[in-house]
């Protein structure tokens, strides 16, 4: 009698679980799947993604299959190719940087050579200018000496034939005694103009 009562209690609990919990749960899940499917949601895909984040369950959802030897070789080749491409890319970058540095050094050398040549030309030009001035001074001294040794009348005749500026330049570099003698032998008007310039310049 007791066994019958226990058996009836077991059946009653099982029936209670099935009718009160399991069937409503399955019904709710079914309705939810239908609604989501109508809404355009990929229920299977979403369920797999959700299950993949649950410990232990993800092993059943995405079981890892051991790769075959061929797949392993293919995988290794792919990795080697990627490594090789990266190495080649790094080498190209280094080579480009090296070429850029070489070009910069070449440009600096060209600029330095141009500056050196400019300095050299400037120094050469200055040297030539100094030499020309020295030569001019030497010739001028000889010219002035020749006029001082010349007869005043002859010197006055020559200077009268020259442009007034040139005549003034020569006379202004002669001794006072020579200047007086030459001006006394020159045309009066021209001698007066030259005398005025000499006075203005403090001769």
Residue 49 has what pLDDT?
67
User: Rounded CA gap, 147 and 159, in Å?
Assistant: 10
Per the listing, tokens 């990266």 go with: 86
Residue 65 has what pLDDT?
57
Query: What tens-digit pLDDT sequence spans the chain (203 residues)?
Result: 445 445 545 557 667 776 777 777 777 777 777 777 777 767 666 666 665 556 555 555 555 556 677 777 777 878 888 888 888 888 888 888 888 888 887 887 787 677 678 767 776 777 777 777 788 788 888 888 888 888 988 988 888 888 888 889 888 888 889 889 998 998 888 888 988 888 887 65
Residue 2 has what pLDDT?
45
Residue 18: its H or E element: none
Residue 4 has what pLDDT?
44
Q: Which two tokens stand for residue 102?
A: 């070489």
Cβ atoms of 182 and 171 closer than 8 Å? yes
> Domain extents for the chain?
29-64, 67-138, 150-203
Give, rounded to a whole angstrom, the gap between the first and last alpha carbons of the chain: 162
- Alpha-carbon Rg for the chain, nearest whole angstrom, is 59
CA distances in angstroms from 199 to 42, 148, 187, 196, listed in the order given: 116, 20, 18, 5
């Amino acid at each position: 009698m007791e066994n019958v009562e226990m058996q009836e209690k077991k059946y009653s609990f099982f029936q209670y679980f099935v009718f009160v919990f399991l069937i409503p749960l399955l019904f709710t899940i079914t309705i939810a799947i239908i609604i989501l499917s109508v809404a355009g949601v990929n229920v299977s895909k979403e369920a797999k993604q959700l299950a993949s984040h649950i410990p232990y369950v993800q092993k059943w959802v995405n079981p890892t299959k051991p790769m075959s030897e061929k797949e392993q070789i293919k995988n290794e080749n792919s990795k080697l190719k990627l490594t090789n491409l990266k190495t080649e890319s790094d080498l190209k970058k280094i080579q480009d940087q090296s070429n850029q540095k070489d070009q910069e050094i070449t440009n600096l050398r060209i600029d330095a050579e141009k500056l050196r040549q400019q300095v050299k030309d400037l120094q050469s030009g200055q040297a030539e200018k100094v030499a020309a001035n020295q030569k001019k001074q030497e010739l001028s001294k000889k010219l002035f000496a020749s006029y001082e040794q010349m007869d005043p009348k002859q010197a006055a005749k020559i200077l009268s034939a020259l442009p007034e500026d040139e005549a003034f330049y020569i006379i202004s570099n002669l001794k006072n005694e020579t200047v007086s003698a030459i001006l006394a032998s020159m045309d009066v008007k021209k001698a007066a103009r030259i005398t005025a310039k000499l006075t203005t310049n403090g001769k």
